Amino acid sequence: MQNVFELEHPLAAHHLSILRDTSTSPAQFRIQIQLLSMLLAVRATDDLLLTPSKVQTPLTEMAGKKLAQRIGVVPILRAGLGLVEPVLQLLPDAAVWHLGMYRDEATAMPVEYYCKLPSGNAVDVGFVLDPMLATGGSIKAAVAALKRWGVKDIRVLSVIAARPGVEQFHQDFPDVKIFVAAVDEVLNSHKFIVPGLGDAGDRMFNTQHD
């Protein structure tokens, strides 16, 4: 699939297997999300632009480099919050905005309830964070919001995606890159990814029995 970048790394396979396991505790689930998010963020930032920068070391002045682009991080509430901290560890100067969406269980369509993107001065690169890309509806809505803001380079970070959702997403946004730890083949009748890992938000925040 074009513009889909799946992690091919032993650590990704290891941490993803723990994440999928139904016996994994919420605390460990959050740790696995963070570890995979870090791997995804490293992969998703490997072509960011740099500009020369003078650096004074303890011994001499040297030619260094620094990031040349303004970065925005946009987690989709609530599950996207679990991916934010690892990304900020790599990009501590990135700006963070939140988009609130939930899935209507009757229609499987996203419902937006919160959006605080500014009206101008768009960032150069925007990262949309959501651990699951199932139907792609919520992520499509988030990408559409970033495009209305004026962001030209939009990248999606998801831990697991479903092939049908990715294909549907790229019908609308073929230019947007998706970075994912794994692409599962199918959605079930309830639009959940199979084999997947269940509801990421419920498992992350220990609300699966509410």
Interval 92-102: pLDDT, tens = 999 999 887 76
| φ, ψ for residue 15, nearest 5 deg | -70, -30
Residue 202: active-site member: yes
* Annotated catalytic residue within 21, 107, 172, 207: 107
Residue 184: active-site member: no
Residue 210 has pLDDT above 60, yes or no: no
Q: So what's the pLDDT on residue 1?
A: 76
Q: So what's the pLDDT on residue 107?
A: 65
Q: What is the pLDDT of residues 147-163, one digit of tens each?
A: 999 999 999 999 999 99
In order of their start, the domains of the chain are 4-51+66-205 (3.40.50.2020)
Strand 132-133 to 177-184 pairing: unpaired
- Kindly indicate the confidence band of residue 105, based on its pLDDT and cuts at 50, 70 and 90: low
* Annotated catalytic residue within 70, 78, 103, 163: 103
Largest pairwise CA distance in the chain: 65
| φ, ψ for residue 143, nearest 5 deg | -65, -40
- 119-128 burial code (b ≥16 CB/10 A, e <16): eeebbebbbb
* Annotated catalytic residue within 45, 78, 163, 202: 202
DSSP E strand stretches across the chain: 4-6, 50-56, 61-67, 71-77, 95-96, 99-103, 110-115, 125-129, 132-133, 153-162, 177-184, 186-187, 193-194
Residue 107: active-site member: yes
Q: What is the pLDDT of residues 59-75, one digit of tens each?
A: 999 999 999 999 999 99
